[in-house]
Amino acid sequence: MNYQLYPWLKDLESPEAQTALDVARKTYLETGTVTLPRFVTADALQTMVQQARAAEDAAFTTDETHTAYLADPDYNRFDKRSVYNHSMRTQVASIAFDELPKDSPLASLYRDPILLQLASRIVTGHANSLHLSADPLGCCSINVFRPNYHHSFHFDESVFSTTLMLQEASDPSTGLFQCTPPLRPDKKDLALPDVAAAIQAYDQETPIPEPFAEGPSLATKEPPRLRTLDFQAGTLSFFSGSCSLHRVTRVKGTQSRLVAVLTYGTQPGFCNSAAVQKLFWGRSVQPNCETTKLFGME
C-alpha cells in the first residue's frame, strides 16, 4: 500500500484516518463508488502487472449472454419485450487465484488486515464486519478483457465489489467502466423503467429488436446519468454493484485491460459455488467451506 500518499492507513484509529473514512463512507452512500488513486506503490504495481501478463494467455474465457439482472428470462412474470428479458453478450477472461505466484504482491495485499478493515469501514460503516474468502480460485482473481472483449450492462448479485486497476486498455477511450447512480435500494426493486431507459439510451452493442414493454414510461423520462469512472492503473475501487447499473465498454488496441477483483463476504469461510467456479474459471475446487454468493465481480 502507498503509505506515503495515504499515511493514515498505518493507524485506522487516528483522527486523520477517521476523517478520511468518514468522507469515503459518505461518498459511497451517496454515489455508490469510492476510488483511491495510486493505492499501491509503483514497484508493487509493476510486479502485479508482470505476473498478470505472464498468466493472461491461459486465462479461461466466459462468453455468455445475460440479462441486466443476471437471471434467466421470465416470460411468465414479464412481457417478452420487457427489459427484464433482454439478453446481452459479455466476453471476459479471468485468472484464478491459484494461477498467481504464491508470493504475489497482489496476494499479500488481499490478505493484509489493513485492507480488510478499510473495506469493512467504507462499505458497511463498521469494523470487523467483513471476512476474506476461502475460495481457492475466486478469493482474489484478475479479470482479463482482451481486445474486443466487453461486459454488457448488469447489476451484480453481490452487494459490492472491490477492484484494483492493474492495466488499462492501450486505447484510452475503450475498456471504460461506466455506471449509473444507484437506481434501487436493494435487489427486490427491479427499477425496470430506469434500466430500460439506460439500456435504450446507451447500449450500442446489442440491438433492441422492438421497443421495450416499459416504453410508455420512457416517453417523457430522462435516462439515468451514465458516469465514466476515473479508473487509472493503481486505483482501488469500492463499488455498490447491486444497486448501480454498470458495464465495461469494448476494449480496443493492442493490450488487455487487467483488473484485480478482491472478494469479501459477511461470513467467514465462504466460497463460490461449483457452478460459479466453472462459469468463470472452467473448473471447480471445493474445499471445506461455506458456499454462498460471491462478494465481488466487476
For residue 6, tell me if it sits in a domain: no
CATH for 51: 2.60.120.620
For residue 16, tell me if it sits in a domain: no
For residue 221, tell me if it sits in a domain: yes
The cell for 112 is 493484509
For residue 18, tell me if it sits in a domain: no
For residue 202, tell me if it sits in a domain: yes
**Residue 298: pLDDT above 70?**
no
**Separation between Cα atoms, residue 63 and residue 65, nearest integer Å:** 7
**Separation between Cα atoms, residue 128 and residue 150, nearest integer Å:** 35
pLDDT at 267: 84
Number of domains in the chain: 1
For residue 92, tell me if it sits in a domain: yes
pLDDT in tens, 141-200: 999 999 999 999 999 878 889 999 999 999 999 999 999 999 999 989 999 999 999 999
For residue 162, tell me if it sits in a domain: yes
pLDDT in tens, 187-226: 899 999 999 999 999 999 998 888 899 976 665 678 999 9
For residue 200, tell me if it sits in a domain: yes
Residue span of the structural domain in which 164 resides: 23-291
